[in-house]
Copies of this chain bind each other. A is one copy, B any other.
Amino acid sequence: MPKPWLTSLEVSTPQEGYELAVLMARVAVKMTQPSDDIRRKLRTVYEQDADSLIASSSVVATHFATVAAANNYWKESQC
């Protein structure tokens, strides 16, 4: 991934926050398996496996919670 790839958690919209969460979920995979070739091969398998897809959606959900909190849920301050 580009370096630096994560300079801020602040994004303009929930959807951009969601896309950032997807990126954050993938970077950890890249850090453990840096080979683009191997990841591409793994992808052809897990993108056809419902349980793998659900598991990666779960990682996105955890990161999205963090990004949303960092952006005060994209609303006026609560205090």
Main SS class of interface, A: helix
Oligomer: number of copies: 6
Contact between chains at A48 and B38 (CB < 8 Å)? yes
Contact between chains at B70 and A9 (CB < 8 Å)? no
Contact between chains at B60 and A50 (CB < 8 Å)? no
Known: A28-B57, A73-B9. A64 touches B63 (CB 8 A): yes
B residues less than 8 Å from A5 (CB atoms): 15
Q: What CA separation (Å) do A68 and B73 show in the bound complex?
A: 10
B residues less than 8 Å from A70 (CB atoms): 68, 73-75
Of all A-B residue pairs in the complex, the 7 with the closest CB atoms, nearest first, are: A70-B73, A46-B50, A28-B57, A61-B62, A6-B15, A28-B60, A42-B50
